Structure 1
Amino acid sequence: MSAPVFHPGSTDITPGRARRVGGSARLQRARDAVRAYLGLTKTRIIEQLLVVTVPAMILAERGIPSVWLIAATLIGGAMAAAGAHALNCVVDADIDAVMKRTSRRPLVKGQVPRRNALVFGLALAAVSSVWLGLTTNWLAAALSLVAIAFYVLVYTLLLKRRTAQNIVWGGAAGCMPVVIGWAAVTGTVEWPALVMFGVIFFWTPPHFWALAMRYKDDYAAAGIPMLPVVASPAQVSRRIVVYSWAMAAWTLLLLPVTSWIYAAVALLGGGYFVFRAHRLHAGVRAQREVAPMRMFHLSNLYLCVLFAAIAVDAAIGLPVLPWPL
């Protein structure tokens, strides 16, 4: 009997090819799992948190801290934020499934089991605190734990589904990176760190309410009482104006420890931010079609530029301005 002939188009797979196909499939599954777990951490938000941490450290040092200290603080801060976000995804899985904006998150799509996400978040929170304690100091580690607990327990579990003031008070967790960065350098928490905390505190409502105006129907469908869901558009835009003024004024409290570089950015940038807030409010009152996402994107740019000015100002070491101006 003659041996069988295998043609190039045959579907038979040799053992070597089978191993390669199996290896490729396992590699693809591993990549998909990594992407899914990264999706739990909301990496874009982490980037924003780290952007404000380094300038706070530079201001605390009045110069450039050691590269190792900056790296250790950023690694610890990134793990802490990632853990908090993963735990947030676990708690909010039901509303994420309803909202179009969040419907592709890993828990909603079944890419990560809920229990695994919970363990992942708790592990990151614990490891980040130990890391910060061993590589920076235990005050920074304790503040990191406070931020995680506040975000998960106070904002996500207590405030988010119960009050339109959720993002006002819950947003305090997002203000903590500047305080953690300051503590990592100095081992203390001093008034400039609290001023930077306040800048982000007053910045958060205009930033988030602009986003919530765009996704009002999403939040309404999920039963989340974000301000644009429970208040009229004019009431929302009016509060955006109020918080924008408060933020712009609060930034000036850093003038005693900065030079003309920061002063110029704070005055011009804050003035433009307030102008855009008033413009949004005027459009809403006139019942014109407005684009709240422009305000949202502007707020991201504004915060980055303002804190970049803090970093450049402190790194250069120019004489501080006389106070009062």
Structure 2
Amino acid sequence: MITERPVQGRSPGLRQAAPRTAVRSASRRDIAGVIRAYVSLTKPRIVELLLVTTVPAMMVAAGGWPDLGLVLIVLVGGSLAAGAASALNCYIDRDIDQLMRRTKRRPLPAHSVTPRAVLIFGLTLALISLILMAAFTNWLATAMTAAAIFYYDVVYTLWLKRRTPQNTFWGGVCGAAPVLIGWAAVTGSIAPMGWALFAVVFFWQMPHFYALAIKYKDDYARAGVPMLPVVRSAGRVNGEILLFTGLTVVASLAAWPLGLGPIYGITALLTGALFTYEAVRLYTRSRRGKVAQPMRLFHGSVTYLTILFIAIAVDALV
């Protein structure tokens, strides 16, 4: 008679523990996946870029370091507000996100979370952000935060994005709003310098997002979104990129005599020249029938804005 040999070093208890360990491990992976999904709904890279412009604006408004508690509140409240706007944007755009290769892996098209959960998540973040701003800043900063969320999700996402190729231009208002919100949180008003910095970020968004839209032109066309590169010629789009790059540089130089020093001025001149060079390069390559390489301008625009606002912060301290 053949009998089964016992496996050395194992016991019935250990054989039962293994499945339980596997279940716990799978459960932890599921929780981690859900957390990652909710974090991705807030579009952290966009939040990060918005905060890069907010803190230097607060420093200029305060003439140095503002109250650190106020900075923390604005950073947390602003992050929650931007995350709320992005999550609600994902909820509204879930129909077109599933048609685009760039966005089809987002949580809603991937069915990682439910639309109802995303809606509740976005509204909750918005409410918390407004409560924080109302409790610890002032009415103007709070009202502008609420207006930015409303503008991005209702005016831009629901209306402009789906109906006009000028969606990027008019949508730029909410993208530049954090500069004004930070300024208002410090002073309770908006000075000419605040508007100048707002203009820099506002005009900057056109070359930045048009470059991205060129890259994903077919995606937007497939989803029926009338981004400028979808409905206009390459020459028209690259011409607008060049125009708005020039306006960005002009706005940055206009801010110089309003209260900023030579550190900022020299930085604005040098980075503006490089930014303009990239826009001219994109335009001329397109005119000559060469590969446009729009993502080179896209990434360069991020570097430009980051360096420019770091210079603003340094100038405010010096």
TM-score by length of 1: 0.92
5 Å matches for 1:1-325?
5=6, 14-255=15-256, 256-316=258-318
Letter in 1 for 2:303: L
Letter in 1 for 2:279: A
TM-fit CA distance, 1:66: 2.3
305-314 or 252-261: bigger deviation:
252-261
CA deviations on 1:280-302 (whole Å, 9 max, x unpaired) are 11111111112010000010000
Contact 1:133 1:139 in 2 (8 A): no
Aligned residues: 315
Contact 1:139 1:188 in 2 (8 A): yes
Distance in 2 (alpha carbons) for counterparts of 1:135 and 1:20: 46
CA deviations on 1:71-129 (whole Å, 9 max, x unpaired) are 11100000000000000001111111111011110001000100000000011011101
CA deviations on 1:133-170 (whole Å, 9 max, x unpaired) are 11222321211110000000011000001110001001
TM-fit CA distance, 1:275: 2.0
* Equivalent position SS for 1:161: helix
CA deviations on 1:220-269 (whole Å, 9 max, x unpaired) are 11111111111111111011111111111111221221111111111221
Letter in 2 for 1:139: L
Unaligned runs of 5+ in 1: 317-325
TM-fit CA distance, 1:189: 1.7
CA deviations on 1:186-212 (whole Å, 9 max, x unpaired) are 122222111111111111010000111
Contact 1:206 1:240 in 2 (8 A): yes
Distance in 2 (alpha carbons) for counterparts of 1:84 and 1:312: 30
Q: Cα distance 1:226–1:11, how it changes in 2: closer, same or farther (>3 A)? A: farther
Corresponding residue for residue 319 of structure 1: none
TM-score by length of 2: 0.94
Distance in 2 (alpha carbons) for counterparts of 1:70 and 1:11: 58
Distance in 1 (alpha carbons) for counterparts of 2:9 and 2:205: 63
Distance in 2 (alpha carbons) for counterparts of 1:133 and 1:171: 25
Distance in 2 (alpha carbons) for counterparts of 1:85 and 1:9: 52
TM-fit CA distance, 1:24: 2.4
TM-fit CA distance, 1:69: 1.5
Distance in 2 (alpha carbons) for counterparts of 1:160 and 1:21: 46
**Percentage of pairs with the same residue:** 46
TM-fit CA distance, 1:39: 1.2
Unaligned runs of 5+ in 2: none
26-35 or 5-14: bigger deviation:
5-14
Letter in 1 for 2:309: F
Letter in 2 for 1:193: G
CA deviations on 1:56-76 (whole Å, 9 max, x unpaired) are 010001101122211111000
